Amino acid sequence: MEYLRAVKERVAEKTGLPAKAVEDLFDPAGNPFADKHPVKLHLIRPKTALATDGGLEFIPAEMKARIALGEAAAREYFGKIPVVQTVR
């Protein structure tokens, strides 16, 4: 959403169009995303890149090691996010 806001500002700056005209450019009729809200995506990756030797072979020991790397990265990442409780 920050990117889209920056693009709109730049369009207004470069074209001299009023804010309403710029908004209209980015909000066409039938926009399937008009009533949607942004969702936070969490990209979780191990600290080191996984080996890329083919990748089509299932070697149980390697798969277990890769799963462990992913689990460790997820624990570290989510351990830094504060827990927010909501009341329903």
Residue-wise pLDDT tens digits, 30-67: 888 888 888 888 888 888 877 766 667 788 988 898 89
How far, in Å, CA of 11 to CA of 23, rounded? 10
Mean pLDDT of 62-85: 88
Confidence of residue 4 (pLDDT cuts 50, 70, 90): confident
Q: Are residues 53 and 14 in the same domain?
A: no
For the chain, what is the domain count? Answer: 2
- H helical segments located in the chain: 2-15, 19-25, 60-79
Q: Are residues 32 and 58 in the same domain?
A: no
Q: Are residues 33 and 44 in the same domain?
A: no
| pLDDT at 21 (0 to 100) | 93
Q: Are residues 83 and 47 in the same domain?
A: yes
| pLDDT at 20 (0 to 100) | 92
Quick check: 17 pLDDT over 70? yes
* Residue % of the chain over a pLDDT of 70: 94
pTM: 0.48
72-81 LR contacts (CB < 8 Å, sep 24+): 72/46, 73/44, 73/45, 73/46, 73/47, 74/44, 77/42, 77/44, 78/42
Residue 28 domain boundaries: 1-37
